Chain A
Amino acid sequence: MSRSTLDLWVGAFVALGIAAILFLALKVGNLIDFASAPGYRLEARFDNIGGLKLRASVKAAGVVVGRVESIKLDPATYQAVVTLRIDQGYQFTADTIASILTSGLLGDVYIGLDPGGDPKMLADGEKVAKTQSGIVLEKLIGQFLFDKAATGSAK
């Protein structure tokens, strides 16, 4: 095993290892995602975020346009304050509705943006005015039972 062959093998091994770490970081993980894609932030307030999690997708017409960056509770109004990070290329109207939706019955929870006709666009840091809270299954069932009971007693 001559010196130069050894150097070659070791160098290739180390390069391969670092490439693997980079692959994991970029393709498997989300290193690039947050760091470099230019974007802007929007704020949305919900009464209930349901099963929404950090880094959930923000979609418009089913296309991913951004991610949920942070979820906090407003101590004054007891509303959930969600910060959305939207990719720079997409602009949304001032009367956009942000709804918390589920993909499929038991699928992932995401935020859907439904733009309106307002000529004015939302800028960095602005609030989305209209929001639709997420579905909480127990409340849905409770509502169903209540309605059922109501129609039953109305008869």
Chain B
Amino acid sequence: MFSAAAAGFVHALRRMGSRTTAIVSWLGYATRFSIAVIRETPAAFSRFSLTMREIYFSGVLSLVIILVSGLFVGMVLALQGYDVLQRYGAAESLGVLVALSLVRELGPVVAGLLFASRAGSAITAEIGLMKATEQLSAMEMMAVDPLARVVAPRFWGGIISMPLLAALFSTLGVFGAYIVGVKLIGIDAGAFWGNMQAGVDFRYDIVNGVIKSIVFGVAVSMLAVFEGYDAKPTAEGVSTATTRTVVESSLAILGLDFVLTVFMFRGVA
């Protein structure tokens, strides 16, 4: 009986070990893939029309959701922010509150999450479907490297689109806060903008926000193309891959956000 328990324990350990080795080898495979994709960067830029097409599909087609979300987030921030600030007679700081929240955090993070679910999943589905219908194989057999022609343009299209979308999100958010705060609630416009300009530093806040959105863009794009390329060539395979892209990208964004915030914004005030 004791030996049965011991055998069970060893078996569980072996299962855990094989799970761990599976994860480690997945990491190794993913890293090799990432390096291969980055090596094809010159191809993505010499055939820039391919990358431009991907900027259209990732960026331009995400505009609607980004702009609308940004507007609403800004408006809600203004409402909630005013509710709290006016208790301390600091309603005129609403502009600073909204601007800093958006530029430092909400812009890159929320735009990143929206980008992952809209554009990231689309990229994964597209590449996965091409794999399932043997289009990638066909390309390979025609002596055209699918990494250079299909994957790398999508990767760079995502990286270029992300910071632009994050900036647009923040801009619409500020605008939304302006509408609610100044036009609807009645805060003084001069105080709104003046305090904002005094409180938001270009190098410290805006540049850091842009850096964050670029990092998120790299993470989401790489995960999206990887999951698509790695998908099982069946219908469920593609759908699993898309789900994984969204989940992994979201976790990556939130995790990286924490790490970046610690490094960028320590010693605030």
Contacts and interface: CB of A to CB of B under 8 A. Distances in A.
Q: Do chains A and B touch in the complex (CB under 8 A)?
A: yes
A10 B56 contact: yes
A17 B52 contact: no
Interface stretch (B24-32, B161-169, B218-226, B251-259): B161-169
B83 interface: no
A37 interface: no
B52 A21 contact: no
Nearest to A9: B60
B142 interface: no
A102 to B, nearest CB: 12
B201 interface: yes
B196 A16 contact: no
A28 B99 contact: yes
Nearest to B160: A14
Contacts of A27: 193, 197
Q: For the side of the interface on B, what is the size category?
A: 35 or more
Query: For A9, A10, A12, which residue has the most chain B Cβ atoms within 10 angstroms?
Result: A10
B38 interface: no
A21 B59 CA distance: 15
A121 interface: no
A106 B88 contact: yes
Given A9-B60, A13-B63, A20-B167, A30 B197 contact: yes
Interface in B134-175: 160-161, 163-165, 167-168, 170-171, 174
Contacts, number: 92
Interface residues of A, number: 32
B164 A18 contact: yes
Nearest to B199: A55
B103 interface: yes
Contacts of B92: 107
Contact of B197 (A14, A28, A56): A28
- Give the most central of B88, B103, B196, B201: most A CB within 10 Å: B201
Contacts of A104: 89
Contact of A6 (B53, B99, B205): B53
A24 B55 contact: no
Contacts of A106: 88-90
B197 A17 contact: no
B206 interface: yes
A6 B198 contact: no
A146 interface: no
A16 B168 CA distance: 8
Residue among A16, A20, A27 with max Cβ neighbours from chain B (10 Å): A20
Given A16-B168, A20-B168, A20-B171, A6 B52 contact: yes
18 contacts: A6-B56, A9-B56, A10-B55, A10-B56, A12-B60, A13-B63, A14-B55, A16-B168, A18-B164, A25-B206, A28-B197, A28-B206, A29-B206, A30-B197, A31-B202, A31-B206, A64-B194, A106-B89
Pairs of residues from A and B, 10 with the lowest C-beta to C-beta distance, nearest first: A17-B164, A20-B167, A20-B171, A31-B202, A29-B202, A29-B200, A21-B167, A13-B60, A20-B168, A10-B52
Interface of B: 49, 52-53, 55-56, 59-60, 63, 88-90, 92, 99, 103, 160-161, 163-165, 167-168, 170-171, 174, 193-198, 200-202, 205-206, 210
Interface of A: 1, 3, 6-7, 9-10, 12-14, 16-18, 20-21, 23-25, 27-31, 33, 55-57, 64, 104-108
